[in-house]
């Protein structure tokens, strides 16, 4: 068997603030195979973006600190590399698409200048060859009249077109891994669908491995092969999209799925809301971080942190961190209602 493209082991990240130490990421471990699309979902503050930024050396230090773990990418531990070595990987072997292209793109530089930079730095192309490649990339991501528009500034593009420029920059050096952090959050639903179609098409063409970070379970359902649900800096559930959507085993995943509008619910019912508030990560709760908001929590949930384990009888790779059997509890509850 070949080694996974990315292997995160026991990663923990904290931020030292005036209000105390924020335990943003707690003992996160997972692997991604080449060609896989992994959707990472969770509320704001769940650790989904922070742990990815940390492993690429993009969190400010201080206040951020990586206190434990390793991140193996193509067999190399990213956490042990120098800043110069990481710069050679970022934008080259690993592409990144950020949430807001208006703040990610430099407003005083043309799109051409911003596309050419990674091509000359990582690919060693001359400016003429880099420009030709940049035009090809803009055409590839669906920007019309690419040869003319490449000389324009970000403010001359619509929101959807700016995001396409960001994707072109992320793909410029044919990365092995493309990370998109809330890449469609600021877009309207029509443009969002176009961007997702674009990513699916590019993945088919080039076999790129993708990490798609979002709070939208609906986006994950249509894009990802596997989904990873995070809460309170931990992984609550992970596995194939179909398996998790069909039979979630974490009460948090179940709550997220119930909050999706579907069928007659769109018009006739109020959307489900998960009760309570996310935990204060300056004082992480003992045990399962979701226990205070979980109607199915057991006494053990408040005293012991559940490990991530494979669920017997479910699809390979469907794992959950829980001390309770959610499907059995839901079945019993439905039986009582009858």
Q: What does the pLDDT look like over 80-129, one tens digit per residue?
A: 999 999 988 988 899 988 877 667 889 999 999 999 998 998 888 999 99
pLDDT at residue number 280: 92
CATH of the domain at 201: 3.40.50.300
Task: With respect to residue 166, please indicate whether it lies within any of the assigned structural domains.
Answer: yes
The helix, strand and coil proportions of the chain, stated in percent and rounded to the nearest 5, come to: 40, 20, 40
Task: With respect to residue 283, please indicate whether it lies within any of the assigned structural domains.
Answer: no
Contact present, 175 and 95 (Cβ < 8 Å): yes
Rounded Cα gap, residues 263 and 266, in angstroms: 6
pLDDT at residue number 260: 79
Task: With respect to residue 117, please indicate whether it lies within any of the assigned structural domains.
Answer: yes
Rounded Cα gap, residues 99 and 48, in angstroms: 13
DSSP strand pairing (6-17 vs 64-73):
antiparallel
Structurally, the chain folds into a number of domains equal to: 1
Closest CA to 252 of 270, 269, 282, 227: 227
In the sheet that holds 177-181, the strands lie side by side as 94-97, 177-181, 209-214, 37-41, 226-231, 234-240, 319-320, 309-310
Task: With respect to residue 306, please indicate whether it lies within any of the assigned structural domains.
Answer: no
Q: What is the mean pLDDT of each run of 10 residues along the chain (338 residues)?
A: 90 95 96 95 92 92 94 95 91 84 84 92 91 92 91 90 88 89 78 82 86 90 94 96 96 91 58 86 93 95 96 94 95 72
Closest CA to 249 of 296, 211, 304: 296
Q: Which residues pair with 14 in a beta bridge?
A: 23, 65
The residue range of the domain holding 126 is: 91-224
Closest CA to 31 of 66, 48, 1, 6: 6
pLDDT at residue number 336: 65
Total residues belonging to the chain? 338
Rounded Cα gap, residues 320 and 69, in angstroms: 21
CA distances 317 to 62, 153, 244, Å, are 36, 45, 10
Task: With respect to residue 211, please indicate whether it lies within any of the assigned structural domains.
Answer: yes
pLDDT at residue number 266: 52
Residue with tokens 């971080």, as numbered in its chain:
289
Task: With respect to residue 247, please indicate whether it lies within any of the assigned structural domains.
Answer: no
Please report the sign of the dihedral spanned by the C-alpha atoms of residue 264, residue 266, residue 267, residue 269.
Answer: positive
Task: With respect to residue 127, please indicate whether it lies within any of the assigned structural domains.
Answer: yes
Contact present, 179 and 7 (Cβ < 8 Å): no
Query: Rounded to a whole number, what is the distance in angstroms from the first to the last CA of the chain?
Result: 49
Contact present, 252 and 43 (Cβ < 8 Å): no
pLDDT in tens, 56-70: 999 988 899 999 999
Residue 230 CA, distance from chain mean position: 10
Task: With respect to residue 255, please indicate whether it lies within any of the assigned structural domains.
Answer: no
Rounded Cα gap, residues 126 and 122, in angstroms: 11
């Amino acid at each position: 068997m070949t080694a996974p493209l990315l292997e995160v082991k026991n990663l923990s990240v904290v931020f030292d603030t005036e209000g105390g130490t924020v335990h943003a990421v707690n003992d996160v471990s997972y692997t991604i195979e080449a060609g896989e699309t992994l959707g990472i979902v969770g509320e704001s503050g769940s650790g989904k973006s922070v742990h990815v930024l940390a492993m690429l050396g993009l969190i400010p230090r201080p206040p951020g600190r990586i206190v434990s773990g390793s991140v193996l990418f193509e067999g190399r531990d990213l956490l042990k590399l120098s800043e110069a070595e990481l710069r050679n990987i970022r934008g080259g072997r690993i592409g990144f698409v950020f949430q807001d292209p208006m703040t990610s793109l430099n407003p005083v530089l043309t799109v051409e200048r911003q596309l050419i930079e990674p091509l000359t730095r990582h690919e060693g192309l001359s400016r003429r060859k880099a420009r030709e490649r940049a035009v090809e990339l803009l055409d590839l991501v669906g920007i019309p009249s690419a040869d003319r528009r490449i000389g324009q500034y970000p403010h001359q593009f619509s929101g959807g077109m700016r995001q396409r420029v960001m994707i072109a920059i992320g793909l410029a050096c044919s990365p092995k891994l493309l990370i998109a952090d809330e890449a469609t959050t600021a877009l309207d639903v029509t443009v969002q669908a176009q961007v997702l179609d674009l990513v699916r098409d590019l993945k088919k063409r080039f076999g790129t491995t993708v990490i798609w970070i979002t709070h939208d379970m609906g986006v994950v359902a249509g894009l990802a092969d596997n989904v990873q649900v995070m809460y309170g800096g931990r992984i609550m559930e992970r596995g194939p999209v179909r398996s998790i959507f069909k039979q979630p085993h974490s009460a948090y995943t179940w709550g997220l799925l119930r909050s999706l509008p579907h069928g007659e619910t769109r018009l006739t019912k109020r959307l489900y809301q998960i009760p309570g508030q996310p935990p204060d990560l300056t004082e992480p709760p003992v045990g399962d971080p979701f226990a205070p908001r979980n109607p199915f929590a057991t006494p053990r949930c408040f005293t012991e942190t559940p490990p991530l384990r494979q669920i017997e009888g479910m699809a390979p790779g469907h794992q959950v961190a829980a001390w309770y059997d959610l499907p059995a509890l839901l079945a019993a509850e439905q039986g009582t209602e009858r």
